[in-house]
Structure 1
Amino acid sequence: MPILTELNLYPIKSCAGISLREATLTPAGLMSEQIYDREWMIVDENGDALTQREYPKMALIAPRIKADTLELRSPGMLRLEVPLGLPAPEDEKLIRVQVWDDQVDAYDCDDTTALWFSNALGVKCRLVRFHPDAKRYSNKEWTEGADVPTLFSDGFPMLVIGSGSLEDLNEKLVAQGRSAIPMNRFRPNLVFSDIAPFEEDFAASYQLGAAALKPVKPCPRCPMPSVDQATGEFSADPLDILGTYRANPKVDGSITFGMNAVLLNGEGTVIRVGQNVDVELAF
């Protein structure tokens, strides 16, 4: 029986994640202590999203949810605490931000926070937070026309990967005389064990207790898996190995690893590491 072995929440897009023992499923992705996946994002002076693709040291910005703040740490920096409470309407400062093809309104965090991130990354930037009135949806071509909300993710609320897929890749890397890589290079939200390598590609749904997830789109891979999440530096890129057997015609031949997924039903269900997962295959 497949088992849920990892739950990862990424409060700030492209920064370090938080490993969880349990999380709540919502249509917009995982939520823990009222904090949503990719609820915050770092933007440049034009409001465009920054990611590890250009700024690999974002991997070293580590968040932790405290009682009423999001605590942030980065090497060589004093600790920063960002309030979790939303500003009063008269105090809110909005900024129009760009994440891929979408523009949405976001809360602009204060100048002290902007300075902290600018110093951490060595580029002028700001931290923004998804506005509760903003609307952003996944590509309907992959959701069968359904309006599936997402915050600052690349495009879908959840990413699922089977541990067997990474084991298969690592076998090929080691056979080439290279080092195995950890799962965090691929930044999944949910990891399942005890399924065959790449079986997630062929799943119709995942049942986790009262909730069901549906994989909808193979996840095309950019160079981000080459970023060592422990050092914030580029290392050997596994895409050359993946390219020999993971080019996917469903996404114009892009190299894929993992499946983007949406919530079918069971909003508010709490899922836990170690629980069984019922995988229904599509064939």
Structure 2
Amino acid sequence: MADCNGIISQMFIYPVKSCAGIEINQATLTATGLAFDREWMIVDQDGLFLTQRQIPHMVWITPELTSHSLKLKAPDQPTLEIEFNQRGASRSVTVWRDTLLADDMGDEAAAWLDQYLAVPGKRFRLVRFAKDAKRLSSKDWTKEIDAANMFSDGFAVLVATQRSLDILNERLLKQGHETVDMLRFRPNIVIEGLEAHTEDNLSELHLHTASGLVALGLVKPCPRCPIPNIDPYTANSTHEVMDTLATYRALARMDGAVCFGMNAIVLSGIGQTLHVGQGFEADYAI
């Protein structure tokens, strides 16, 4: 018998790393996480990845997925459409400590990014994770499992409990601040039915689908950078979110890093469909 259970209450994907997310009702699970999550990325002229840490208004780049293309929208910009079958020349890109090949999405996409992002001294390219590229999560956390991911910060899936956000918002309100929503933390799967931050102490999530079992291994608390301070609707950054979390979410096992949510890897269930409202079971880590 499982130690605890609950349901998936929300799901999100972020097709272009560090741009706006898409709330979804269901998704196919792949070896690298939810389908289309962090499959594209913006890099500079040197191939180095870029995020809201450097360019907060990246959050206003809004992706849309159709049956055959990725569309990007941004304020005062025409819609950019990129067909799924479009893959340009490979180029070397760097995301954190990993350097790998990615497929360039062409000059039209680059010009669109240059016009919108408009950072002096920077030129931008949109790249897509190459079909034959391979990027693995740190085995320091996966117990030597070869766990694939694409352009995420390091792991296939980010899981957070709804109650964790509720507790944060209660604290923010007591301090006279406005509440925030889950998009600040960019999870893939939000779960209900557990107390705040229970995900810290779980070993695996098991979800029974019509076609078989999905198992996600929860392997590492997610240290938070300043991105949760950025309002996804205004692109303004203030300090109250991270300052508040720092008063109770600095984890000793993460050398005092402020954490929210758990990074997970795919253990089984590739090709299965996950959906909002789906139940799960979980056991505590020993």
TM-score range, shorter chain: over 0.9
CA distance in 2, matches of 1:211, 1:148: 15
What is the Cα-based RMSD across aligned positions, in Å? 1.1
2:262 corresponds to which residue?
A: 259
Q: How does 1:106-255 map to 2 (within 5 A)?
A: 106-123=102-119, 124-209=123-208, 210-255=213-258
Q: Please say which of residues 175-184 and 236-245 is displaced more in the overlay.
A: 236-245
**Which ranges of structure 1 fall in alignment gaps of 5 or more residues?**
none
CA distance in 1, matches of 2:276, 2:128: 28
1:234-276 Cα deviation digits (max 9, x unpaired): 1344111111111112221111000000112111110110111
1:179-211 Cα deviation digits (max 9, x unpaired): 111000000000001210110101111111121
CA distance in 2, matches of 1:248, 1:119: 41
CA distance in 1, matches of 2:42, 2:145: 28
1:21-50 Cα deviation digits (max 9, x unpaired): 11111221001xxxx211100001110001
Asked if 2 retains the 8 angstrom alpha-carbon contact of 1:227 and 1:234, the reply is: yes
Asked if 2 retains the 8 angstrom alpha-carbon contact of 1:6 and 1:192, the reply is: yes
1:43 aligns with 2:43: yes
1:102-159 Cα deviation digits (max 9, x unpaired): 0000111111110101111113211011111111110000000111111111100110
Asked if 1 retains the 8 angstrom alpha-carbon contact of 2:104 and 2:126, the reply is: yes
1:271 corresponds to which residue?
A: 274
CA distance in 1, matches of 2:240, 2:100: 33
1:7 corresponds to which residue?
A: 11
Candidates 19, 24, 42, aligned match of 1:20: 24
CA distance in 2, matches of 1:229, 1:237: 15
1:101 corresponds to which residue?
A: 97
CA distance in 2, matches of 1:217, 1:79: 37
SS in 1 for 2:172: helix
Asked if 2 retains the 8 angstrom alpha-carbon contact of 1:223 and 1:237, the reply is: no
Aligned-partner residue type, residue 25 of structure 1: L
CA distance in 2, matches of 1:234, 1:240: 12
Aligned length in residues: 275
Percent of aligned pairs with the same amino acid: 44
SS in 2 for 1:261: strand
CA distance in 2, matches of 1:280, 1:41: 35
Asked if 2 retains the 8 angstrom alpha-carbon contact of 1:225 and 1:237, the reply is: no
SS in 2 for 1:24: strand
SS in 2 for 1:277: strand
Asked if 1 retains the 8 angstrom alpha-carbon contact of 2:86 and 2:105, the reply is: no
SS in 2 for 1:146: coil
Q: How does 1:60-79 map to 2 (within 5 A)?
A: 60-79=60-79
